[in-house]
Amino acid sequence: MERKQIMGLERMTGDWHQYKDLFLLADEDEAMLARYIEQTERWLWTVANTTVGAAAVRVVNPYEGELMAIAVAPAHQQQGTGNAFLQALIAAYARRGWWTLTVGTGDTGPAQLRFYLKNGFCPDHIRPFFFSQYAAPIEDQWGPLQNMIVFKRLLKPLPHWVVPTTAAIWQPLAVTQPLAPWPVATGDGTMGWSLAPVKQAQTLTFVGAAFDFALNQWAALLNPQPLAADTDLAALWRYWRRAYPAYVVPANYFRGNK
């Protein structure tokens, strides 16, 4: 009978340079690695008391983080080791109370794309021409890396929310606020943000919603007119409300909204 190997997750406490070869499997550009590695929480994955994997996670805020690097030694790849390592990291940060974990990977590596999809991550957005800042081109199965594909994984389920009706009347709460988005609310207290200024009570088009991690509640995202289909609401929120972490989704995220 084959003996099972004991695997475990450990927080790295010493000098990360002793595991540099593992980190360079995840990020081949040593200069780029050096730019962020010191600002991360670093983790090790052991199999039978031998370190076979390393990862670095950047804390974005108390609710979100970004997996900056994860790698497993070549001799332990294609054996489920990477999946176990990633799932252990997800569980560790879920216990800490995080809502989301993001990760970016190259656009020409099918193995990496499959890896994150298989582990419950969903495509979130693209960072165009991200790899143009690297000192030398990085080749993968489909060619040189160009754009970074950013995936996001929810670490716990979002609470149910009743979508406001199209007939709802929204009242501006701060007409003089100079910057978007503008706070609005319905008569029953449903909170929302209008992407355009609203000077008087009126019906607004429901274009999406933002789940506020700190307040643990949804707020509607609204606009006087429908938005273009390719509008990136999450990018708008990050630009306008960076200090207010939230999970932002378009209207068609909710059942019954197309």
Q: HSE-up of 69 (CA within 13 Å, CB side)?
A: 32
Q: Bigger pLDDT: 146 or 78?
A: 78
Domains identified in the chain and CATH numbers: 7-154 (3.40.630.30), 169-253 (no CATH)
Asked if residue 4 has pLDDT above 60, the reply is: no
**Residue 134: pLDDT above 90?**
no
> What's the whole-number mean pLDDT along residues 121-136?
80
Give the pLDDT mean for 156-166.
90
181-218 pLDDT tens trace:
999 999 988 999 999 998 899 999 999 999 999 999 99
Q: Which carries the bigger pLDDT value, residue 229 or residue 46? A: 46
- Per-residue pLDDT band at 141 (split at 50, 70, 90): low
Higher pLDDT: 210 or 253? It is 210
Q: What is the mean pLDDT of residues 106-124?
A: 88
- The DSSP code sequence of the chain is -PPPPPEEEEE--S-GGGGHHHHHHH---HHHHHHHGGGSEEEEEEETTEEEEEEEEEEEETTEEEEEEEEE-GGGTTTTHHHHHHHHHHHHHHHHT--EEEEEEETT-HHHHHHHHHTT-EEEEEETTGGGGSSS--EETTEE--SEEEEEEESSPPPP-PPPPTT-EEEES-TT--SSSEEEE-TT--EEEESS---S-EE-EEEEEEEETTTTEEEEEEESSPPPTT--HHHHHHHH-TTS-EEEEEGGGSTT--
**Cross-strand pairs, 191:** 185
Determine the pLDDT at residue 16.
95
